[in-house]
């Protein structure tokens, strides 16, 4: 029978400040999918784990020297701590939440005998079902609400718990083309996001090139409406609102255009509560004039939305500036 297992990253030391919060490999026989750190290092991790996991319980420590790591696309060497689960023991919710682009917290526990368990938490109710200690549930909820990608470890009653946020890269769907759409796409790349532009048909026939019903956005994603053509844009806004994903929805245009857009949505059966969270006119109030400045204030507003924090200056806050 072919091996079928999951390698999950628990923590890292070194590797030049690489992301410690995410990383998963799916091994089906000779087929490998997913990634831990880099494609090259993923292959090496899978090779090493395949010779160790059947005889090793708990967390496996894999050390890579500088030469190995650099050849695999990393800045320097380090140590990766991973756990291995047979596919049947790994929570299927992990992949479903990934597909839905829903951020969630993974809790990996390690008991004194070396036994490991993995829990997926995307809400308070799922934390209760996991039957974890209250202290761990509270920390998981704090990580989920903060939306901060890091890993923390907690030792409680001789059991070690490793908690990390798994969240998709922000994806921006831009409705309408032109120089601003191009600037937004370029800025998204600089920010480590992804973007796709959906343009209306030149003859205004509204031939569908991207089905609004297939629009899949999570709470860290965005729908940016540049086109003023309501017949073209309304189906996409409707789809995003119906999903209740919490995604950022912002639209370019005058206050008159915004009023007309909201009126159309209300006529379609939405209520004021549904549309009050729309960002329009789009962007922060920073006197943007050029295309580049406009793209900047739009992306900044999206970042504020993602952070779930009120807009303020760092100089007016206390504590860590990047927390």
- Tens of pLDDT, residues 78-131: 999 899 888 888 898 998 998 889 899 999 999 988 888 999 998 766 766 778
- Tens of pLDDT, residues 269-301: 999 999 999 999 999 999 999 999 999 999 999
Give Cβ neighbours of residue 124 (< 8 Å, ≥ 6 apart).
137, 141
pTM: 0.81
Radius of gyration of the chain (CA): 23
Alpha-carbon distances of 102 from 34, 47, 120, 301, 305, rounded to whole Å: 17, 30, 12, 20, 16
Rounded distance, CA 85 to CA 57, Å? Answer: 10
**Domain residue spans in the chain?**
1-87, 91-168, 171-307
Is residue 5's pLDDT more than 80?
yes
How many other CB atoms are found less than 10 A from the CB of residue 128? 12
Alpha-carbon distances of 115 from 73, 84, 118, 153, rounded to whole Å: 32, 11, 11, 16
Element (H, E) at 188: helix 179-190
Phi, psi of 162 (to 5 degrees): -120, 120
- Considering the domain 171-307, what is its CATH architecture? 3-Layer(aba) Sandwich (3.40)
């Amino acid at each position: 029978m072919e091996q079928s297992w999951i390698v999950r990253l628990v923590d890292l030391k070194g590797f030049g400040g690489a992301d410690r919060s995410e990383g998963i490999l799916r091994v089906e026989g000779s087929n490998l999918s997913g990634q831990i750190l880099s494609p090259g290092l993923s292959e090496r991790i899978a090779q090493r784990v395949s010779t160790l996991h059947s005889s090793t319980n708990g967390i496996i420590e894999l050390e890579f020297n500088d030469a190995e790591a650099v050849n695999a696309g990393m800045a320097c060497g380090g140590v990766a701590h991973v756990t291995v689960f047979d596919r049947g023991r790994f929570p299927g919710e992990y992949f479903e939440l990934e597909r839905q682009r829903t951020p969630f917290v993974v809790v990996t526990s390690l008991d004194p005998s070396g036994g490991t368990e993995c829990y997926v938490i995307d809400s308070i109710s799922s934390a209760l079902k996991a039957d974890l200690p209250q202290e761990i549930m509270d920390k998981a909820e704090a990580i989920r609400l903060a939306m901060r990608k890091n890993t923390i470890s907690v030792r409680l009653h001789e059991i070690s718990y490793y908690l990390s946020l798994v969240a998709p890269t922000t994806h921006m769907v831009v409705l309408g083309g032109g120089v601003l759409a191009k600037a937004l796409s370029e800025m998204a790349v600089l920010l480590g996001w992804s973007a796709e532009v959906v343009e209306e048909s030149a003859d205004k026939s509204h031939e569908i090139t991207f089905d609004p019903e297939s629009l899949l956005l999570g709470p860290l994603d965005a729908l940016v409406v540049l086109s003023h053509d309501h017949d073209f844009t309304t189906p996409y806004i409707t789809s995003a609102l119906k999903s209740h994903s919490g995604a950022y929805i912002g639209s370019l245009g005058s206050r008159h255009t915004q009023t007309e857009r909201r009126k159309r949505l209300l006529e379609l059966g939405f209520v004021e509560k549904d549309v009050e969270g729309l960002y329009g006119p789009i962007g922060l109030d920073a006197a943007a004039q050029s295309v580049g400045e406009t793209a900047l204030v739009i992306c900044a507003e999206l970042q504020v939305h993602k952070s779930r924090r009120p807009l303020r200056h760092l100089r007016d806050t206390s504590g860590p500036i990047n927390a």
